[in-house]
């Protein structure tokens, strides 16, 4: 198949050229893209799939979604998975990161009722990738908890840790002969803070005082149980690896003042240290300074004990070191400031009130269509060198990184190209500084249902026509640029952002 997109008069072929710089991605560096089940699959009740928390929320409270859309059909990957794999081939991907729908495999959340049609769908999807030497990288949980489990308390029920281990074991048993790269949870902050401590993700619990902390503890224990189950009972024969993905945007001090440095550190602990420290630090448990602040504030607020639960010695030992790699989703950066003009007020009590931190982004950082996402200078370098200095010489993967445009932006997405090139150059800087980043997953392969933004925000290398019942996919300019980088393993310093004519020849 040969796809041609005309973007101007100057012709750039995706063939190798003489490299004039030494900065290369090694041959074993893994390039891929990433997606999530609810955002792309559709088939929300097809072939025995159960209801999940996003199905329930969007059907019962459609007004919480910006454009009142939902993921009932989304990009319809359930009926178009072969086209998805075809796009992976067009790009020349080494790997593809996607998530399993817990409710598609276990409609009620429990292993007594396995939906074999769901198993067949994922087997077919995985086999199609394997056929073309594309490595499947599977996320077990990307925000779509079975509604039946939510009605039992979801992440704040201590039994959740056993429910998740049972589900993980089923996935390892059914798919582990071909899947060698497992991610337990995608973005714990978004699960626990946005879903339980606020109302910006399902299940919109908004239990600001304790929701984030109860969820966080149960999540990292569930991760550890699944990890140890894999290492003990599956890894010896399957020879894969298992880790977790945490959203790590960079939070740096606005000035060199002690107050701003303290504020930046507390914000890092609140945003991602809450989940990284128990797993990756030597001491284990929740971050020390944040824990002390929550305990102090809880006492002043009249609580009998800290709103943040502690770990027993046994729990601390179980969670600490439960990783083969650290997956990082990175999009942007913020500056932490103690200045009065940047003071932000949060609900009392809540995670961000507990951290006593305020952040902002400079006006001159280029911003995406959504406004929240900005092209921050050197943010991947800053984030990853900090992580390496804090947690040591471990394996890292960029498991998400991307840029959004509006639905009317079209196929000429030069701002996305600029973002990817800047991000990958920053990644090379981090590698040269000694950070062992082994792979990069662009978000996203194609446009999808973007959570609370519905389909008003587009992240895809491929544009999806949501008005077309077939959900046709068309490559954007960024797809051609990314293909060129993957094929040649370097970023062309002579690249010009002017309109180009590019060709993808995938050899089909």
The residues that are catalytic are 187, 400
Phi, psi of 63 (to 5 degrees): -65, -15
Q: At what angle do helices 116-131 and 77-91 cross, to 10 degrees?
A: 20
Q: DSSP states of 304-356 as a string?
A: SS-SSPPPPHHHHHHHTT--S-EEEE---EEEE--SGGG-----SSSHHHHHT
Which SS3 state, helix, strand or coil, does residue 37 take?
Answer: helix
Angstrom distance (rounded) from CA 162 to CA 315 = 14
Angstrom distance (rounded) from CA 378 to CA 109 = 42
Closest CA to 284 of 319, 255, 235, 328: 319
Angstrom distance (rounded) from CA 421 to CA 490 = 10
Angstrom distance (rounded) from CA 84 to CA 459 = 15
- Helix or strand run (H / E) with residue 400: strand 396-400
> SS3 letters for 441-480?
EEECCECCCCHHHCCCCECCCEEECCCCCCCCEEECHHHH
* C-alpha distances in Å from residue 27, one per residue of 1, 2, 22, 491: 26, 26, 14, 14
Both tokens of 20, joined, read 């004039």
Closest CA to 446 of 28, 27, 35, 30: 35
Both tokens of 24, joined, read 């290369």
Burial 80-105 (b: 16+ CB within 10 A, else e): bbebbbbbbbbbbbbbbbbbbbbbbb
Q: Is the peptide bond before 349 cis (omega within 30 degrees of 0)?
A: yes
Instruction: Based on DSSP, count helices (H) and strands (E) in the chain, helices before strands.
Output: 18, 16
Both tokens of 361, joined, read 């982004």
Q: How many CB atoms lie within 10 A of CB 239?
A: 9
CB 317 within 8 A of CB 284: yes
Residue 344 burial by Cβ neighbours in a 10 Å radius (0-12, 13-18, 19+): exposed
Both tokens of 297, joined, read 């504030």
Angstrom distance (rounded) from CA 100 to CA 84 = 15
Torsion over CA: 454, 458, 459, 464 (sign): positive
């Amino acid at each position: 198949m040969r796809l041609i997109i005309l973007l101007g008069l100057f012709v750039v072929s995706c063939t190798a050229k003489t490299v004039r710089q030494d900065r290369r991605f090694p041959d074993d560096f893994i390039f891929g893209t990433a997606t999530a089940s609810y955002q792309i699959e559709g088939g929300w009740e097809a072939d025995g799939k159960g209801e999940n928390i996003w199905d329930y929320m969007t059907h019962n409270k459609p007004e919480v979604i910006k454009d009142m859309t939902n993921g009932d059909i989304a990009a319809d990957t359930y009926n178009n998975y072969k086209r998805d794999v075809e796009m992976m081939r067009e790009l020349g991907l080494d790997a593809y990161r996607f998530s399993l729908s817990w409710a598609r495999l276990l409609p009620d959340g429990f292993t007594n009722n396995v939906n074999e049609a769901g198993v067949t769908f994922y087997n077919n999807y995985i086999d199609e990738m394997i056929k073309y030497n594309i490595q499947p990288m599977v996320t077990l949980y990307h925000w779509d908890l079975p509604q039946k489990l939510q009605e039992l308390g979801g992440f704040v029920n201590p039994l959740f840790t056993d429910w998740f281990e049972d589900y993980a074991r089923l996935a390892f048993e059914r798919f582990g002969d071909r899947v060698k790269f497992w991610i337990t949870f995608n973005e714990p902050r978004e699960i626990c803070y946005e879903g339980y401590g606020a109302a910006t993700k399902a299940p919109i619990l908004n239990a600001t005082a304790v929701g984030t902390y109860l969820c966080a503890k149960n999540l990292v224990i569930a991760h550890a149980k699944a990890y140890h189950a894999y290492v003990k009972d599956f890894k010896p024969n399957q020879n894969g690896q298992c880790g977790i993905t945490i959203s790590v945007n960079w939070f740096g001090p606005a000035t060199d003042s002690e107050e701003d440095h303290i504020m930046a550190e507390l914000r890092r602990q609140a945003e991602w240290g809450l989940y990284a420290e128990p797993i990756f630090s030597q001491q284990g448990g929740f971050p020390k300074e944040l824990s002390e602040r929550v305990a102090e504030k809880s006492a002043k607020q009249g609580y009998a004990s800290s709103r943040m639960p502690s770990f027993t010695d046994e729990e601390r030992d179980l969670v600490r070191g439960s990783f083969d790699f650290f997956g990082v989703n990175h999009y942007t950066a913020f500056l932490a400031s103690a200045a009065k003009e940047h003071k932000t007020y949060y609900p009392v009590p809540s995670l961000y009130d507990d951290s006593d931190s305020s952040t902002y982004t400079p006006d001159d950082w280029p911003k995406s269509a959504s406004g929240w996402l900005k092209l921050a200078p050197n943010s991947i370098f800053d984030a990853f060198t900090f992580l390496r200095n804090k947690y040591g010489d471990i394996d890292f993967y960029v498991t998400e990184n991307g840029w959004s445009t509006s639905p009317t932006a079209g196929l000429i997405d030069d701002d996305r190209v600029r973002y990817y090139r800047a991000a990958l150059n920053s990644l090379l800087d981090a590698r040269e500084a000694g950070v062992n980043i082994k792979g990069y997953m662009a978000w996203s392969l194609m446009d999808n249902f973007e959570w609370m933004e519905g389909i008003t925000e587009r992240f895809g290398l491929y544009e999806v026509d949501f008005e077309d019942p077939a959900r046709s996919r068309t490559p954007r300019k960024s797809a051609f640029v990314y293909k060129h980088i993957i094929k040649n393993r370097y970023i062309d310093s002579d690249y010009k952002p002017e309109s180009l004519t590019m060709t993808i020849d995938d050899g089909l």
